[in-house]
Amino acid sequence: MVTLNMLKNLTDGDGLTLKNWNPIRYHSGWQVATEGLETSDPAAALDMVAAYSGTCGIWYEGGTYYIDRSHRENTKTRALQVGREHNQISIYGWKTGRLAYC
């Protein structure tokens, strides 16, 4: 289960994907966000995770926590389509660990 301490320990470029408050990793498919929130306060970030019922993505960069409602799509084509529909910059490929830009 994600905790405040876990969020405080993230360093630049670190992230987590959560399902029902627990970190999860997939072996295939593409993660895509449909909406998001941001804050520089780790306690507020934890509250934002709660707003998404513990199922979301968290990215920490430059002192900011980005919390996104996200889900996994099977295909890159579909994930890119969803990403573009929701004005996302990129999607995350689970198999490669790389981003693809929308």
Mean pLDDT score, 30-40: 97
How far apart, in whole angstroms, are the C-alpha atoms of residue 91 and residue 45? 21
> What whole-number percentage of the chain has pLDDT above 90?
99
For the chain, the domains span: 4-101
Q: What is the pLDDT of residues 53-96, one digit of tens each?
A: 999 999 999 999 999 999 999 999 999 999 999 999 999 999 99
Instruction: Count Cβ atoms below 10 Å from residue 80 Cβ, excluding itself.
Output: 19
- pLDDT for the residue numbered 100: 97
How far apart, in whole angstroms, are the C-alpha atoms of residue 63 and residue 81? 30
